[in-house]
Amino acid sequence: MSYGSTEAVRGIDLDVHRGEIFAFLGPNGAGKTTTVEILEGYRKRSGGEVTVLGEDPERAGREWRERIGIVLQSGRLDPYLTVRESLDLYAGYFRNPRPSEDVIALIGLEGKTDERTGRLSGGQQRRLDVGMALIGDPELLFLDEPTTGFDPSARRQAWDVIAGLRDLGKTVFLTTHYMDEAQRLADRVTIIAAGQIVARGTPQDLGERESGETTIRYRSGGREVVMQTTTPVQALHELTAKALADGEQLEGLEVTRPSLEDVYLELTAEAASPIEEGASS
Amino acid sequence: MNGLALVGHQFRYDQKAFWRNPASVFFTVMFPVILFLILAVVFSGEDVNVRGGIDATTYYVPAIMSLSIISATMQTLAMTLVIAREDGRLKRGRGTPMPPWVFIAGRVGNSIVVALMMLALLAAIGALFGADVPWGRLPAILLTLVVGAASFCCLGIALTAAIPSQDAAAAIVNAMLLPLYFLSGVFIPEDQLPNGVIAFADLFPVRHFFDAFFDAYVPAGGSAVSWDNLAIVALWGVAALLLAIRYFRWTPRTG
């Protein structure tokens, strides 16, 4: 899959199950948007096989578009139409739309029904973006970095909306560069860096899989000691046995395992280092 | 909804957005009216040496009508489509089952309806200044308007391909149209333009449309429908349509 002269993503192999929230996680420039735009039918791929809802997005037509909803990474609505008018306009494009009132309730904009979209806050506009993608009552939703640039409370609200999609039985393909977002929302996560997949699994798996290195930290005679080990039980046993024998206090003893955030940063840094920066997202 | 119902649906919302947008209401509706009032007051009582001599007000009614039809079609479409493209609205629409032509048809319909309203408005204001409405020529006027409006819609849609950003839209459109209005005799009566200017303006569609519209609106002998001028305007429209089909983009160029 490439465009221009740079191959943006390579060897991407994804399998998304019906009814799940699938997170496609990676840093900016990793190739997430390229991949999702190929899946949405916006972008032609240079090779490989893609099937979304049983069809090749490059050739899929109107019927296929009845079944998907897309939230683009950026984009504004007509600033002179109200929330309800924007939804009603799009409802007309679909054969069996969800009523605009339902969608407004789902995205929590009941108080803003007759507000022009140009006057909504960033977080409210983003929720309306999700609403616009929901109006056709799609089976599959693509959300491209839905909370980038949000303050914490706006993110929390957007997360509630996305988590609610699962209860509606929708399949969600979410791209994000926030580990916590994937962790909070996704059933399964695939991590991409520099155009290649570096890890995949449930959020829990990913945390445990990389549990290799445990860090043990303590002070001895005023000196900070840090040791990394793959066998923490044995290392701790030896350490404490020796300390007991020597009558030594292990001041500030601390045993830590890497957080999911650490795992993510490590994985993406490894993948990015040998390859030139600048692969477009 | 079937195709035609969908165009009507799109058109309704385009109309709402048009009338709520202060920039489009000012430049497309208010500006031609203000321009006509200024020209009618400044040149009142003067004669223009065209068609054996007509008074300036009679000259400026079809002149400003031509300008406002081009403004409602080419200018409005080029600007609003570039803004919608760069806002990602065209791309968002392409992600829905709506056929792309429906969106374009809604916008073109909006432009032609606004052009018709401007015709009525300027005819009424012109009548207050003594320029009689040529009711007998209404079929010729409407035919000329529809051919011109459709052609200038195509020109506006094609022009979007040459406009890289929202900020550049107004500058590019005005840089093309304002000189042509001057050179084509829309602002300055053609009997006062130096020799050769009209010949140069004849290379472009604005002059031919104004000429055709003038023939349709001013009862001064000859055929009401200026077929040769209309044919040239229509050719420009067809050429623009082909360019638009080839080069129109639905995705933002910036951002």
Look at chain B and report how many structural domains it folds into: 1
pLDDT at residue A195, rounded to an integer: 83
Task: Note whether residue A106 is domain-resident.
Answer: yes
Among residues A123, A279, A138, A155, the alpha carbon closest in space to that of B97 is found at A138
CB B91 within 8 A of CB A37: no
What is the full DSSP assignment across B142-159?
Answer: HHHHHHHHHHHHHHHHHH
pLDDT at residue A7, rounded to an integer: 62
State the pairing for strand pair A21-25/A188-193: parallel
What residues are paired with A255 via a beta bridge? A216
Task: Note whether residue A184 is domain-resident.
Answer: yes
Encoded tokens for B248: 């129109």
Note down pLDDT in tens along chain A; length 281 residues: 333 345 667 777 888 999 999 999 988 888 888 899 999 999 998 888 899 999 999 998 899 999 999 999 888 999 999 999 999 999 999 999 999 999 999 899 999 999 999 999 988 999 999 999 999 999 999 999 988 878 888 888 889 889 988 888 899 999 998 888 988 899 999 998 888 888 888 887 776 655 567 888 998 878 888 888 888 889 899 989 988 998 888 888 988 877 677 777 877 777 665 444 444 43
Q: Answer with the one of A207, A241, A272 that is the final residue of a domain.
A: A207
Enclosing domain of residue A196: 21-207
DSSP-derived secondary structure letter, A190: E
Task: Note whether residue B219 is domain-resident.
Answer: yes
pLDDT at residue A275, rounded to an integer: 44
What residues are paired with A59 via a beta bridge? none
Enclosing domain of residue B236: 3-247
CB A23 within 8 A of CB A188: yes
Indicate if A203 and A217 belong to the same structural domain. Answer: no
pLDDT at residue B221, rounded to an integer: 61
What is the full DSSP assignment across B105-125?
Answer: HHHHHHHHHHHHHHHHHHHHH
Task: Note whether residue A93 is domain-resident.
Answer: yes
In sequence order, the 6+-apart residues with CB closer than 8 A to the CB of A137 are A94, A96, A97, A98
Structure ipTM: 0.90
pLDDT at residue A278, rounded to an integer: 41
Indicate if A116 and A183 belong to the same structural domain. Answer: yes
Task: Note whether residue B253 is domain-resident.
Answer: no
First-to-last alpha carbon distance for chain B, in angstroms, is 34
Indicate if A190 and A217 belong to the same structural domain. Answer: no
Indicate if A192 and A66 belong to the same structural domain. Answer: yes
Mean pLDDT lowest among B5-14, B147-156, B217-226: B217-226
Task: Note whether residue A238 is domain-resident.
Answer: yes
State the pairing for strand pair A251-256/A214-220: antiparallel
Residue among A93, A100, A116 with most chain B CBs within 10 A, to mutate: A93
Indicate if A166 and A32 belong to the same structural domain. Answer: yes
Which chain A residue shows the shortest CA-CA distance from B99?
Answer: A62
Indicate if A195 and A234 belong to the same structural domain. Answer: no
SS3 B67: helix
Residue among A33, A66, A80 with most chain B CBs within 10 A, to mutate: A80
SS3 A198: strand
How many CA atoms, within 13 angstroms, populate the side-chain half-sphere of residue A38?
A: 22
Indicate if A164 and A25 belong to the same structural domain. Answer: yes
CATH of the domain at A189: 3.40.50.300
Q: Helices B3-20 and B100-128: crossing angle, nearest 10°?
A: 50
Give the one of B89, B97, B255 whose C-beta lies nearest to A93's C-beta. B97
Indicate the average pLDDT of chain B.
Answer: 93
Q: Is A132 on the interface with B (CB under 8 A)?
A: yes
CB A54 within 8 A of CB A18: no
Q: How far apart are CA A111 and CA A130, in angstroms?
A: 17
Predicted confidence (pLDDT) per residue in B13-59, tens digit: 999 999 999 999 999 999 999 999 999 999 888 888 887 788 899 99
Encoded tokens for A16: 């998304």
SS3 A138: coil
How many CA atoms, within 13 angstroms, populate the side-chain half-sphere of residue A178?
A: 18
Q: Which residue has the higher pLDDT, B188 or B15?
A: B15
State the pairing for strand pair A68-71/A140-144: parallel
Residue among B92, B102, B251 with most chain A CBs within 10 A, to mutate: B92
Look at chain A and report how many structural domains it folds into: 2
Interface size, chain A vs chain B, as Cβ–Cβ contacts under 8 Å = 65
Encoded tokens for B81: 């489509």
Question: What average pLDDT does this structure show over B164-176?
Answer: 95
Mean pLDDT lowest among A13-22, B56-65, B137-146: A13-22
Phi and psi at A173, nearest 5°, equal -105, 110
Among residues A108, A90, A97, the alpha carbon closest in space to that of A161 is found at A108
Task: Note whether residue B191 is domain-resident.
Answer: yes
- DSSP element (H, E) containing B240: helix B227-247
Handedness of CA B213, B216, B222, B225 (dihedral sign): positive
Task: Note whether residue A9 is domain-resident.
Answer: no
Q: Which amino acid is at B208?
A: H
Task: Note whether residue A264 is domain-resident.
Answer: no
In sequence order, the 6+-apart residues with CB closer than 8 A to the CB of A276 are none
Task: Note whether residue B252 is domain-resident.
Answer: no
Q: Which amino acid is at A173?
A: F
Indicate if A80 and A168 belong to the same structural domain. Answer: yes
Task: Note whether residue A250 is domain-resident.
Answer: yes
Indicate if A164 and A199 belong to the same structural domain. Answer: yes
Are B87 and A75 in contact (CB < 8 Å)?
Answer: yes
What is the full DSSP assignment across A92-109?
Answer: TTSSSPPPHHHHHHHTT-
- Kindly list the residues from chain B whose CB atom is less than 8 angstroms away from the CB atom of residue A81: 13, 16-17
Task: Note whether residue A3 is domain-resident.
Answer: no
Q: Which residue has the higher pLDDT, A242 or B147?
A: B147
Q: How far apart are CA B35 and CA B27, in angstroms?
A: 11
Indicate if A58 and A192 belong to the same structural domain. Answer: yes
Are A42 and B13 in contact (CB < 8 Å)?
Answer: no
Q: Answer with the one of A146, A180, A207 that is the final residue of a domain.
A: A207
- Kindly list the residues from chain B whose CB atom is less than 8 angstroms away from the CB atom of residue A92: 1, 6, 9-10
- Kindly list the residues from chain B whose CB atom is less than 8 angstroms away from the CB atom of residue A132: 92
Indicate if A193 and A69 belong to the same structural domain. Answer: yes
